[in-house]
Amino acid sequence: MSKLRQALHNEITLRGYSERTRESYVYAVERLAKYVDQPISTLTDKQLEQYFRYLALNKKLSRATILLQLNGIHFLYKHVLHKSFDIQVSWPKQRQKIPELLSKAEVKAIIAQVTNEKYRVMLSVLYGCGLRISELLHLKVSDIDGERETLKIRQGKGGKDRFVVVPPSVLTRLRRYWCHYHPTHWLFPSQTGTHGPLHQSSLRKQLNATWQRSGITKPCSPHSFRHAFATHQLEAGMPLHQLQHQLGHGDVKTTSRYLHWLPELSHGGRDLLAQWEIDSEH
């Protein structure tokens, strides 16, 4: 398995895939290797079909999670083993659920409970710019353009760079943060001495503790801040195509789902990017 894993790493690196994709593909292959008692290269199509039935029926994984597993194994077969397979995968029915959206007041209440300045700034950027957690953690100091009030998002989902607008209040927080911590490369560096960015688990742990202290009963994750940003922007009147670019969606249909989450939109408000503020005392 070690040789196979190294070959998988090499092929992923060769194609310039993100670290998140790498982790997903490696996990998918390792999970399959633990399930079978023979080399993966010798598996038949029928055995692979049985494995995916096991994921759906026994492990009760969601459609999205099974698709991630399938993508990783397909990559392994195509680019490492140079083989193909033809299987029928039974997908669990995809439930269409509207998440419980955080209000602006609830977002403020959660951030107000953060006691560590570094994490307070991170959550402010996460919400104020509508970023994915991976995009936030891979920001570099050089990605901040204070004069243009933008952040450069490098290799977001789909491998595309883009610029996003930063609200003035968030930019002020970033300046204070830099003056206090003086990061030189990664904007939010790891605290373990690995010279890389902070790991997702650190931010998730901090957010979970903060959410519990806030008394907010709605579920809260880093992606909840992104959902909140998107819906608050639409309520403030941001055009859909502008929101699409800010969020980094390749297809406007992905962005338009937020319209379905908001039965009524108030288009008379000012752009939230100009008016959104977080109390500087917190």
End-to-end CA distance of the chain: 50
**CA 96/CA 80 separation, integer angstroms:** 36
* List 25, 77, 177, 258, catalytic entry: 258
Nearest by Cα to 25 from 48, 14, 9, 39: 9
For 153, the 3-state DSSP assignment is strand
* List 132, 138, 173, 232, catalytic entry: 132
Known catalytic residue at 31: no
**CA 272/CA 236 separation, integer angstroms:** 6
Known catalytic residue at 226: yes
Question: In terms of DSSP bridges, do strands 162-165 and 144-145 run parallel, antiparallel, or are they unpaired?
Answer: unpaired
Residue 175: Cβ within 10 Å count: 12
Known catalytic residue at 132: yes
* List 157, 213, 218, 245, catalytic entry: 157
* List 15, 185, 223, 267, catalytic entry: 223
* List 118, 120, 232, 249, catalytic entry: 249
**CA 243/CA 190 separation, integer angstroms:** 30
**CA 120/CA 221 separation, integer angstroms:** 14
* List 173, 226, 227, 232, catalytic entry: 226
**CA 13/CA 141 separation, integer angstroms:** 24
**CA 167/CA 280 separation, integer angstroms:** 13
Alpha carbon separation from 73 to 3, 62, 279 (Å, rounded): 16, 17, 47
Nearest by Cα to 158 from 244, 52, 227: 244
**CA 227/CA 231 separation, integer angstroms:** 6
Tokens 């570094």 found at: 118
Residues belonging to the active site: 132, 157, 223, 226, 249, 258
